[in-house]
A and B are shown apart, each in its own frame.
Chain A
Amino acid sequence: MDNRLVQNVADLNEEEVLAQIRKELAAGTDPGAILEACRKGMNLVGERYEKHEYFVADLMMAGMIFKEAMEILSPKLKGMATAAASKGTVVFGTVAGDIHDIGKNVVVSMLGAAGFDVHDLGVDVPVDKFVAEVKVTGAKVLGLSGLITVSYDGMKATIEALKAAGLRDKTKVMIGGGIVNESVRQYTGADAWGKDANEAVAICQRLMGGK
């Protein structure tokens, strides 16, 4: 397999990406290798975003292409020990009192492309649901999203509930969305905050490493 798939993902050439994946599969290429090429393309998307060549609309298109690629690849990847192995489990959601999901969805999609196993609980997620999901999955990272100021209280309550359930020491919490900043991190008691999807991926990688 040549480098064209990586480039096509990075250049957001949707039709070419999907056609090429089908062609490679038909030719017997290892689906794990195809997935790895898609991930490399997504990394380039992240780099272009970092360099201000790409913006949120581009991240959404990239997320869409990756999702479609995964729909084709997933059935072929089942049971295979490949590079598709998860880089860790993340529970994610928009906190109680807030139904905004655009930023959350972009972050979830970029985290998925980066190899994390993301459990997206949706929007307006009750505190108890976050706690239960962290408990069941053993997620090392909990991502809380919110756009309106009301969400700061939802984030704070979720983190306090995590503490009450005895899970806070085992779980790192990252927050983000809209106008979240350091003062919100301090108010909520989160471990880290990020301003965009790229930062979220970097923070998640750091937190997974226990830092």
Chain B
Amino acid sequence: MRPETMTSAERFHAAVTLQKPDRVPVAPLIGAFIARHFGVVMQEFYAKHNLSVDLEHALFDQVGGWDVITMAGPTDPITFEAGFPVRVKRPGRELPPDAVIQFDESKPAILAEDYDLIAKKGWNAYYAQDLVPRLRPEWAGPEGGARLGAIMGAFGRDSMMNIQYWKSRGIPLLGGGMFSHPFEQLCWGRSLHEFYIDMFRMPDKVLAAIEAYLPEAIEAAVGMARAVDIPSIFIGCARGSSAMLRPAQFEKFFFPYLKKAVETFASQGITSLLHFDSDWTGFLPYFTQLPKAQCILELDSATDIFKAKEVLRGHMCIMGDVPATLTKLGTPEQVSTYVKRLIDEVGGDGGFILSTGCDTPADAKYENFKVLVETGKTYELSK
């Protein structure tokens, strides 16, 4: 086997800038899988920052390491509870102690009449004054705000410690900030069903709310990335996909706002990590309008990643997409075969980062996870 000739940071940089690294960078997303692997009950894993961080490091070393960490920090659902307009079901609270967290959209948090409020006062004021009292009354008002501030302070401090840890090991980090696309946020808050119906019934109100929200969402994302000194922003989307929307709806409600955000980030030297779950195959040509070599399109296996490469070759780095079903139900041989195909067909001329399709599921098999990382690190160097 040939030796590696690049560091993880060089390898990652080469991939993002569409060059061919010595081998494909490997960057699996891990969260709840860590807990199940080490036999820790999910409730405890989410509650103890030191534990989730230590186990993340332990898993990393157990498989001999990989190249990139995405969204470094303790695995704590507080990140969703504090900024996501949807009810979060936690293990040990609404769910059995060893369940993974789930989002509950059964009762919309945002009401149809709220679009006007958001358009008038902006998202941040609406969120604090109207949504938090309704969704999470324990954090409303000055006292509630102080409570949340203390929780987020602890989370921020522990995240920074973990970020410093990875930096000291020379591991590049992805996702310093997080951009909440207004379309996705409003859709989660309204519930997917109600939001899609609103697109038909009250398109102007929906658009006005999106317009008002956008500048604040961009500012918040840049602020986060700057605060932790990681020049990349995580953009998680699933509901504006080509499985869900017609092209005309995508052009009206989704794409212009994504483009504006990504262009703003790129102008400040910040890479956008487009963590796009669901099937975006039909909208891939639009992504050629985004700044060249300044985005990573991370796919979860619902989008045709081979088609994505064909459309975006020479324009955008692709990341993904070993399916969650394969890591749970497949054999190591099947995982290895799929990883090799990804490396050959998507990674062949560079501009590719090997990853899991979305997150590694909690109930994935360890031997499958291990072979994913090992094949990613050795296949090209062994050829």
Which residues of A are interface residues toward B (Cβ below 8 A)?
12, 14, 52-58, 60-61, 64, 97-102, 105, 123, 148-150, 152-153, 179-181, 183-184, 187
Interface residues on B, range: 35 or more
Contact: A56 with B362, CB < 8 Å? no
Q: Which of A60, A101, A105, A148 contacts B361 (CB 8 A)?
A: A148
Contact: A179 with B324, CB < 8 Å? yes
Q: Which of A12, A60, A179 contacts B325 (CB 8 A)?
A: A179
Known contacts A55-B242, A98-B102, A99-B89; A61/B325 CB under 8 A? no
How close is B91's CB to chain A, nearest CB, in angstroms?
11
Q: How far is the CA of A110 from the CA of B41 in the complex (A)?
A: 39
Q: How far is the CA of A117 from the CA of B106 in the complex (A)?
A: 23
Asked if B302 lies at the interface with its beta carbon under 8 angstroms from chain A, I say yes
Pick the interface stretch among B6-14, B108-116, B190-198, B311-319. Answer: B190-198
Contact: A101 with B325, CB < 8 Å? no
Q: How far is the CA of A187 from the CA of B325 in the complex (A)?
A: 11
Provide the residues of chain A in CB contact with B249, threshold 8 Å: 57
Q: How far is the CA of A124 from the CA of B325 in the complex (A)?
A: 20
Contact: A148 with B196, CB < 8 Å? no
Contact: A61 with B324, CB < 8 Å? no
Q: How far is the CA of A198 from the CA of B104 in the complex (A)?
A: 26
Shortest beta-carbon contacts, A-B, top 9: A149-B361, A57-B196, A56-B244, A149-B328, A60-B196, A179-B325, A61-B200, A99-B102, A102-B192
Q: A52-B282, A54-B246 are in contact. List 19 more A-B contacts (CB 8 A).
A: A14-B201, A55-B242, A57-B200, A57-B244, A58-B246, A60-B192, A60-B193, A61-B200, A105-B193, A148-B100, A149-B361, A150-B361, A150-B362, A150-B363, A152-B325, A152-B328, A179-B323, A179-B357, A183-B325
Provide the residues of chain B in CB contact with A53, threshold 8 Å: 246
Q: Which of B99, B197, B199, B329 contacts A187 (CB 8 A)?
A: B329
Interface centre among A54, A57, A149 (most CB of B within 10 A): A57
Number of A-B contacts (CB under 8 A): 79
Q: How far is the CA of A55 from the CA of B324 in the complex (A)?
A: 24
Asked if B245 lies at the interface with its beta carbon under 8 angstroms from chain A, I say yes
Q: How far is the CA of A160 from the CA of B178 in the complex (A)?
A: 43
Provide the residues of chain A in CB contact with B246, threshold 8 Å: 53-55, 57-58
Asked if B44 lies at the interface with its beta carbon under 8 angstroms from chain A, I say no
How close is B172's CB to chain A, nearest CB, in angstroms?
28
Asked if B243 lies at the interface with its beta carbon under 8 angstroms from chain A, I say yes
Provide the residues of chain B in CB contact with A61, threshold 8 Å: 196-197, 200
Q: How far is the CA of A138 from the CA of B56 in the complex (A)?
A: 49
Q: How far is the CA of A101 from the CA of B103 in the complex (A)?
A: 11
Q: How far is the CA of A149 from the CA of B193 in the complex (A)?
A: 23
0/1 interface trace, chain B 80-91, chain A, CB 8 Å (1 if under): 000000000100
Q: How far is the CA of A183 from the CA of B301 in the complex (A)?
A: 15
Contact: A55 with B245, CB < 8 Å? yes
Tell me the chain B residues, 309-338 only, with Cβ under 8 Å from chain A: 323-326, 328-330
What are 5 residue pairs bridging A and B, where the CB atoms are less than 8 Å apart in the complex? A57-B245, A57-B249, A99-B104, A148-B102, A179-B357
How close is A187's CB to chain B, nearest CB, in angstroms?
5
Residue of B nearest to A196 (CB): B243
Provide the residues of chain A in CB contact with B193, threshold 8 Å: 60, 102, 105
Asked if B158 lies at the interface with its beta carbon under 8 angstroms from chain A, I say no
Residue of B nearest to A100 (CB): B102
Known contacts A52-B282, A55-B245, A179-B301; A184/B329 CB under 8 A? yes
Contact: A55 with B106, CB < 8 Å? no
Asked if B76 lies at the interface with its beta carbon under 8 angstroms from chain A, I say no
Contact: A149 with B200, CB < 8 Å? no
Provide the residues of chain A in CB contact with B196, threshold 8 Å: 56-57, 60-61
How close is B76's CB to chain A, nearest CB, in angstroms?
19
Asked if B374 lies at the interface with its beta carbon under 8 angstroms from chain A, I say no
0/1 interface trace, chain B 350-368, chain A, CB 8 Å (1 if under): 0000000100011110000
Known contacts A149-B363, A187-B329; A102/B100 CB under 8 A? no
Provide the residues of chain A in CB contact with B361, threshold 8 Å: 148-150
Q: How far is the CA of A150 from the CA of B362 in the complex (A)?
A: 8
0/1 interface trace, chain B 41-69, chain A, CB 8 Å (1 if under): 00000000000000000000000000000
Residue of A nearest to B193 (CB): A60
Provide the residues of chain A in CB contact with B106, threshold 8 Å: 99, 101, 123
Provide the residues of chain B in CB contact with A64, threshold 8 Å: 197
